[in-house]
Amino acid sequence: MTADLAARFPTDFRWSTATAAFQVEGARSEGGKGRSIWDEFVETPGRVLDGSTAEPGPDSYHRIDDDVRLLAELGVDSYRFSISWVRVQPDGQGPANPDGLDYYRRLVDALLEAGITPFPTLYHWDLPITLHREGGWLNRAIAERFADYTQLVAAALGDRVTDWYTLNEPVSTTLEGYAIGELAPGEALLFDALPTVHHQLLAHGRAVPILRAHGAERIGIVNNHTHVRPLHDTADDHRAVDAYDLIHNRLFADPLLTGRYPDLEAFGLPPMPVRSDDLAVISAPCDFYGVNFYNPTTVTAPPADSPIPFDLSATRGAEHTGFGEMWPIVPGALTALLVDFRDRYGPSLPPIVIGENGASFPEPATVEGTIDDRNRIHYLAGHVAAVADAIAAGVDVREYTVWSLLDNFEWAAGFSQRFGIVHVDQTTGTRTPKASYAWYRDLIAQARV
């Protein structure tokens, strides 16, 4: 079956896996690292489900060799990791921290020596706390701070890194970080959070020419996207679909791919704080568009007195991951999303990279021997097949990335959720490949034949 699935992909299709700095590095107080919004979030009682912090976690700061060995044996083409803003620039402004840059140089050099393309993300949510106190992503000035940070990283790594993600999941920062407060910085501003969309996209736009000037060959942003479905086949539920699709998908993709925002006023939402030339900066052509996908979203019409134009609902008839019924497993929804993007954006849509796809399931904290995580294999196989279906339908998808290489600190869920294809004992850092690791290794090897 794996060979049949592998045969559906061109031999130059790229395979990857991913992690993020705050989730795997540990070493919070080492090497001159500053404090981010996530340091404060995890120290606030009640914010993290199991009361844990990210220390020591996988301790990748001290285990470069272990991680690169796993990647080399897996056979991936590239490794998506993130660069910690506060490890490079502890206060979010001023000169670079040489110890922080040296860590990423060593990681990049080890990857290149192993024949693996480094594919870093400049921002994966660890905003310097100093910038948050100045307004964070609500403050337009942050786009310039991000440009300065990009310049420091590109000057240090641009001679050996050619592939870049700018920002990860601006939708999660806006909706979960600023609108409802489930992620750092824990604000609950509802639709007053919407300026953070524009400032994140503007930061992306400011970063692109800086990376180009330092030799970048492949640049893109990556967002979490979802295929939106109505709970009932009614006009009110379809209007709720349109509203959620606008807020979760189009609000982020439209300005990047078409140079304009969707009609927010149609849903009673405030306009974006756009200034002259902003949209030209935001929509400058990129080399790929990144899509993170985990599940579809089912919505229904809200109560009449609700300030929000949709209600979220469980997806009927679907199995779900360890995160519960709001994380349904519907691989065909990924195909539908990709085809929708092709139809919606046409020639303005660059090649797509699947920047994250994976699932968490309950697993023990410590293991002896491997974990037979056939539920994860089933999830991954279904979604890889969904990508193949999209390619067969004419969607230009170039790369697929499993989230995650390692069990890691799963943000507000702490260590209660495990996404890794490699089990990590969060006390000792011991790494144990799961059955899904062997499955993915075999898929990659067969896809190259």
Looking at this protein, which amino acid is placed at residue 151? Q
Q: Cα–Cα distances in Å, from 116 out to 15, 80, 109, 150, 160?
A: 11, 10, 10, 22, 12
Per-residue pLDDT 10s for the chain (449 aa) are 799 999 999 999 999 999 999 999 999 989 999 999 999 999 999 999 999 999 999 999 999 999 999 999 999 999 999 999 999 999 999 999 999 999 999 999 999 999 999 999 999 999 999 999 999 999 999 999 999 999 999 999 999 999 999 999 999 999 999 999 999 999 999 999 999 999 999 999 999 999 999 999 999 999 999 999 999 999 999 999 999 999 999 999 999 999 999 999 999 999 999 999 999 999 999 999 999 999 999 999 999 999 999 999 999 999 999 999 999 999 999 999 999 999 999 999 999 999 999 999 999 999 998 999 999 999 999 999 999 999 999 999 999 999 999 999 999 999 999 999 999 999 899 999 999 999 999 999 999 98
| CATH, range 2-447 | 3.20.20.80
Catalytic residue from among 176, 187, 356, 410: 356
Could you tell me which of 86, 83, 102 has the C-alpha nearest to residue 94?
Answer: 86
For residue 333 the two structure tokens come to: 């929804």
CB 411 within 8 A of CB 183: yes
Contact 60, 424 (CB under 8 A): no
Q: Where are the domains of the chain?
A: 2-447
Taking the C-alpha atoms of 115, 121, 126 and 131 in order, what is their torsion angle to the nearest 10 degrees? 130
**HEC secondary structure over the chain:** CHHHHHCCCCCCCEEEEECCHHHHCCCCCCCCCCCEHHHHHHHCCCCCCCCCCCCCCCCCCCCHHHHHHHHHHHCCCEEEEECCHHHHCCCCCCCCCHHHHHHHHHHHHHHHHCCCEEEEEEECCCCEHHHHCCCHHHCCCHHHHHHHHHHHHHHHHCCCCCEEEEEECHHHHHHHHHHCCCCCCCCCCHHHHCHHHHHHHHHHHHHHHHHHHCCCCEEEEEEECCCEEECCCCHHHHHHHHHHHHHHHHHHHHHHHHCCCCCCHHHCCCCCCCCCCHHHHHCCCCCCEEEECCCCEEEECCCCCCCCCCEEECCCCCCECCCCCCCECCCHHHHHHHHHHHHHHHHHCCCEEEEECCCCCCCCCCCCCCCCCHHHHHHHHHHHHHHHHHHHCCCCEEEEEEECCECCCCHHHCCCCCCCCEEECCCCCCEEECHHHHHHHHHHHHHCC
pTM of the predicted model as reported, rounded to 2 decimal places: 0.98
CA distance 17 to 302: 38
Rounded Cα distance between 389 and 372, Å, is 27
| Count of other CB atoms within 10 angstroms of residue 285 | 10
Active site residue 356: yes
**Annotated catalytic, 319?**
no
pLDDT of 1 reads: 78
pLDDT on residue 258: 98
Give the active site residue among 169, 176, 187, 399: 169
